Homo-oligomer: A and B are copies of this chain.
Amino acid sequence: MTELAEKFRRIHSTPAYQLVAEAIEKRILSGGIRPGEPIGTEAELVKQFGVNRSTVREGIRLLEHDGIIQRQSNRRLAVSLPHYDRLASRTTRAMVLHEVTFRELYEAAMALQLATIEGAALRATPAMLEAMQDNIERTAQVLGDAAAVAALDSEFHAMIGKASGNRVLQLAREPSDLLVYPTTKLILSKVKEGAPRLLQAHRMLLEAIRGGDVEAGRLWARRHLNDWRKGFERSGNDLDQPIAGIYLREGLTSPS
Contacts and interface: CB of A to CB of B under 8 A. Distances in A.
Given A61-B58, A61-B62, A100-B168, A248 B108 contact: no
Contact of A30 (B172, B248, B254): B248
Contacts of A112: 111-112, 172
When all copies of this chain in the complex are counted, the total is 2
Interface in A65-103: 65-68, 81-82, 84, 87, 90-91, 93-98, 100
A4 interface: no
| Most B-side CB within 10 Å, residue of A54, A67, A108 | A108
| Most B-side CB within 10 Å, residue of A31, A61, A67 | A61
A93 B82 CA distance: 9
A110 B111 CA distance: 10
Given A22-B254, A115-B110, A166-B108, A94 B61 contact: no
Interface residues of A, number: 56
B95 A171 contact: yes
Interface string A226-256: 0000000000000000001000100010100
Contacts of A107: 115, 119, 166, 168-169
Nearest to A54: B54
A35 interface: yes
Interface of A: 17, 22, 25-26, 28-31, 35, 54, 57-58, 61-62, 65-68, 81-82, 84, 87, 90-91, 93-98, 100, 104-105, 107-112, 114-115, 119, 165-169, 171-173, 175-176, 244, 248, 252, 254
